[in-house]
Structure 1
Amino acid sequence: MFHIHIKIISPTSQKLVSSLSRNPWLWLPPRLISTSSPSSSSQGSAFAFSYLTDTCGLSPERAITLSKRLKLESSERPEAVIEFFKNQGLSQTVTSKIFRTVPDLLLANAQKTLKPKLDFLKSKGFSTSDIHSILLDFPELLRRSLKNEIIPCFDFLDNMFQCKNRLRKTVVSHSCVLYDIAKRMEPNIKLLREEGVPESHIVRFLEYYPNTLKSWPAQFKKAVLEVKGMEIDPLKLQFVILVHVKLRLSKSTWARKEGIYRKWGWTDNDISAAFRVHPFCMCSSDSKIEEVMDILVNTLGCKSSDILKCPSVLTMSLRKRIIPRGSVVRALMSKGLINKLSWTAFRYNELKFLDKYVHCYDKEANELLKLYKAKLA
């Protein structure tokens, strides 16, 4: 006698199987698609997987991991959160980014946890567009404590910025400034003040490089002492820029850049001098340093030591400045119209460059302009 066993697939499991059919390369543990007598735990995992992939756009791999952790058994709470974001004017793009980055917010209490944070930002003058940018940049902000982190951080920044518009732009561009200030940023700012750095320069530092100001205090102090040892005046803006670059580059990266410059004949003193004048010469990619050096030395006939007079050229755009202008200079040199390269060829804005190196040569102007435009990419 034959016994026929019929397994009824629940709607939740049907949805899961549908998700799997769209990702045939993915194999899930059998317990996630067991349909005989599913436990509430496996049902919850199956629903969570389906919801995370279909509604929130998470990858199947991440959805599997999260479905085991999130106690997501129905769509009631997440739908309330989604509806809240929609009513707040947040786009689907922003909402999807939030859930992909911080899926736990699917279980948040929208009115008690999320609304007060957005209301606070609005009360400080941030527009809906600003809030979009902030949440796209740092969705994690919605998990931070409004009372213990966001408000104290904003108040700290508010006391530093005299211009509220600059404060707003800083928060929109660098949302990381709204958390974890006390442990890192405050000690680092205190150190800069102790070293005599003007408040206006500290604010500029905060405005452009807040992540650097949030370096661990021990690392930050080390960089400050290194720059101080270079006898750079703390009253100059260059001081904080040098600190920023020192912290941005790892020890191995710094050593590699030094090796490239030595290859072109620079001494340790030359490298140090160039860094003091234009710190970002140490931030250009290895290939760019090589290419700029090659054009200046091998094509335009400079001595590598001459580049120390204008190290900023090492950070200029190859396609928009170095190559097209270098081509014009080379053509002028080949015609005997100029004897050697002047750094003004790269320093001038475009109108002045064309005036001084193209239009002033009546007979050659058309040819030079065509060459310039052909090389300008």
Structure 2
Amino acid sequence: MLHFLIRRTLSLPPSKPHSLWNHPWHHVKFSSTATATATTCSGSKGNSFTVSYLIDTCGFSPQRALSVSKHLNFETNEKPELAFEFFKNHGLTQTQAVSIIRKSPQLLRANFVKSVQPKIDYFKSKGFSDPDIRRIMMCWPTILKSSLEKEIIPSFDFLGNILQSNQNLTKVILKYAGILCYFGKCLQPNIEVLREEGVPESHVVRFIQYFPRQFTSSSKKFKEAVQAVKELKFDPLKMQFLVVVQVKLGISRSTWLKREGIYRKWGWTDNEISAAFKSQPWCMAVSDNKIEAIMDFLVNKLGCTPSVISRSSLVLSVSLEKRIIPRGSVIEVLLSKGLVKMPKLYGIFIPNEAVFLDKFVYRHEKEAAELLKLYQAKLALAGFKASKKFMK
């Protein structure tokens, strides 16, 4: 069950190949009718040039250009052009370079020879390929501003000792390289909190592999989340303890209270909310709109009672379009014809497609064609197709 939940954790898609840089950078300009106005309002000559450059070359809005120019000022394009030249030389496209600068405009004044290139060299020494490094620069440009000696190298060494595998370490960094930027403030103290609570090292390893982003939470927030999970009587020796920590870290108090209110609106008691969370913590990580839509379908289409849904709260974490609606529509027809009594929700929505079709479609020979057509139509509305290997 844990693997079912973990597979629903979002991760970054693999990087895609990009075309090489096609044009000299100075030929690319963003058109903006607001440039002159923003420049007029910017004040000094240097500040005026900075604002115009950020708007015309980097595509900043006039408001953000003015804001950034207060902390980033240059009178010519000499230094910022070095930044773009650096990205070009490392195989990044124009669009990618602009994206990096928009995320971290301070890089326009970085010393790429002394500060940035050594980080690239370090990643290469650790076995990262050029596409890997481009991916890291694109997704987490803040790493280019982090200290190599104080943050990146200590984080590499610390994580390497925990993961005990270069392959695992590489996967974690490509999943969330930001974990290398907060060694002393977040990474090390957060790991120590888990160890102090008696969390097995093997579980710490899995938590890093699945949820590396959480280790960049502030140590204060991380401690509070762990303490809250302890108060709920979850066992630190079990992996679910860390799953609940992940959920707690990802939800603000205001969001938590709002979702409790939504479940109450649909008829859950406080005890049912508590029991559902303890059984399937992800029910509190589902978006407000998704909770509303699934509850509406289960209650008003399938006639489920709130109590039944609370005892099967895992179904709230599956896809509404790909699973709840297509499968629920089949069950709705079977119920209307008196061919089945209401099955358990887990039995409908959790099994794989082959099991579902065998149990609820092909078993009913006279209605199979109609049910299959309905199922495929609902999937098509969501932009999906049923697996051909299961079509009989």
- What TM-score, normalized by structure 1, do the two folds share? 0.85
Q: Residues 70-115 of structure 1: CA distance to partner in whole angstroms, max 9, x if unpaired?
A: 3423333333332222222223233212222323322332221211
- Comparing 274-283 with 291-300, greater Cα deviation is found at 291-300
2:279 is aligned to: 277
1:175 is aligned to: 177
Distance 1:160 1:288 in 2: 37
Q: After TM superposition, give the deviation of residue 51 of structure 1 in Å.
A: 2.9
Q: 1:157 to 1:93 in 2, by over 3 A?
A: farther
- Comparing 160-169 with 138-147, greater Cα deviation is found at 160-169
Q: 1:232 to 1:58 in 2, by over 3 A?
A: same
Q: Is the 8 A contact 1:300 1:341 kept in 2?
A: no
Q: 1:372 to 1:20 in 2, by over 3 A?
A: closer
2:33 is aligned to: 23
2:247 is aligned to: 245
Q: Is the 8 A contact 1:149 1:178 kept in 2?
A: yes
2:146 is aligned to: 144
Q: Is the 8 A contact 2:151 2:182 kept in 1?
A: yes
| Higher RCO (CA-CA < 8 Å; seq separation 6+) | 2
Distance 1:169 1:184 in 2: 20
Where 2:37 maps in the other structure, the secondary structure is coil
2:359 is aligned to: 356
2:304 is aligned to: 302
1:112 is aligned to: 114
Q: Which amino acid aligns with 1:133?
A: R
Q: Is the 8 A contact 2:32 2:56 kept in 1?
A: no
Distance 1:209 1:297 in 2: 33
Distance 1:178 1:74 in 2: 33
2:63 is aligned to: 61
The alignment's C-alpha RMSD in Å is 2.4
1:45 pairs with one of 25, 47, 58: 47
Distance 2:292 2:72 in 1: 51
Q: Residues 233-259 of structure 1: CA distance to partner in whole angstroms, max 9, x if unpaired?
A: 212111001111122222222122122
2:378 is aligned to: 375
- Comparing 261-270 with 331-340, greater Cα deviation is found at 261-270
Distance 1:27 1:74 in 2: 20
Distance 2:51 2:216 in 1: 37
Distance 1:267 1:97 in 2: 47
- Comparing 267-276 with 73-82, greater Cα deviation is found at 73-82
Distance 2:112 2:137 in 1: 15
Q: After TM superposition, give the deviation of residue 280 of structure 1 in Å.
A: 0.9
The structure with more radius of gyration: 1
2:201 is aligned to: 199
Query: Aligned residue pairs: how many?
Result: 351
Q: Residues 187-216 of structure 1: CA distance to partner in whole angstroms, max 9, x if unpaired?
A: 221121122211121122222323323323
Distance 1:102 1:259 in 2: 39
Distance 2:270 2:206 in 1: 30
Q: Residues 306-343 of structure 1: CA distance to partner in whole angstroms, max 9, x if unpaired?
A: 22332111121111111111111111112221111223
Q: Residues 133-180 of structure 1: CA distance to partner in whole angstroms, max 9, x if unpaired?
A: 211222121111111111111111111112322221221221210111
Alignment of 1:265 onto 2:270? no
Q: Is the 8 A contact 2:335 2:342 kept in 1?
A: yes
2:317 is aligned to: 315
Q: Is the 8 A contact 1:78 1:107 kept in 2?
A: yes
2:157 pairs with one of 155, 172, 189: 155
2:125 is aligned to: 123
Contiguous gaps of at least 5 residues in structure 2: 1-28, 383-392
Q: After TM superposition, give the deviation of residue 66 of structure 1 in Å.
A: 4.0
Query: Identity over the aligned pairs, expressed in percent?
Result: 52
Contiguous gaps of at least 5 residues in structure 1: 1-18, 34-40
Distance 1:218 1:30 in 2: 44
